[in-house]
Every structure is written in structure tokens, then in C-alpha cells.
């Protein structure tokens, strides 16, 4: 079984809040050939930003006003939607 650090996709930042990854699969040479595999449309059309949390192949995102959605990271299929109080 993978350790917890392998299961959770951690966001790495420097002291200035710049996000980066030590992974090397995406390079300046192959970046232009990348294409989205799926998109997810939120229900509300307000402007908002969110940072997903990845755990065991599931992306957890927040949506306005008080919703958390769980998405299959490979397909984008909605697995669960949880509403706040």
C-alpha cells in the first residue's frame, strides 16, 4: 500500500507562493501537444477560484456558495457532492 505522502498530491510552493513541481514528464518541447482530457462545469456562474486536493485518484474541489465536489481524476465524473449547512 502506498504511503500517505504518495496518495495525496501536495502543492509545492516557495517563499513567494510560486507553485512548482519537481516532476519532469512535461517539458517545453512537449507542452504544446498537451490537450485537456475532460472539463467540469460548476453549477453557479459566479467568478471564483479553487485549488483541488488530490487523494487516491479523487479530486476534491470547492464550489460556491458552500459545496464540496469529489471528481474522478481520470474521467472528471462526479462521484459525490456535499452541501454545507
Which tens digits make up the pLDDT trace of 12-69?
666 776 766 777 888 889 999 999 999 998 888 778 888 888 888 999 999 988 899 9
Strand partners, 55: 8, 58
Q: Give 33's DSSP letter.
A: G
**CB–CB of 60/39 below 8 Å?**
no
Which CATH number covers residue 40? 2.40.10
Burial class (CB in 10 A: 0-12, 13-18, 19+), 71: buried
Q: Look up the domain containing 26 and give its range.
A: 4-83
Q: How many angstroms separate the CA atoms of 73 and 44, rounded?
A: 21
Structural domains of the chain, count: 1
Under the banding of pLDDT at 50, 70 and 90, the label for residue 6 is very low
What the block records as the C-alpha cell of 10 is 501536495
Q: What is the pTM of this model?
A: 0.69
Amino acid at each position: 500500500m502506498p504511503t500517505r505522502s504518495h496518495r495525496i498530491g501536495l502543492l509545492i510552493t516557495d517563499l513567494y507562493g510560486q507553485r512548482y513541481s519537481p516532476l519532469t514528464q512535461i517539458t517545453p518541447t512537449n507542452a504544446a501537444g498537451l490537450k485537456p482530457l475532460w472539463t467540469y462545469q460548476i453549477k453557479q456562474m459566479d467568478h471564483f477560484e479553487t485549488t483541488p486536493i488530490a487523494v487516491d485518484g479523487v479530486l476534491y474541489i470547492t464550489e460556491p456558495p458552500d459545496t464540496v465536489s469529489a471528481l474522478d481524476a481520470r474521467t472528471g465524473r462526479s462521484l459525490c457532492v456535499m452541501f454545507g449547512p
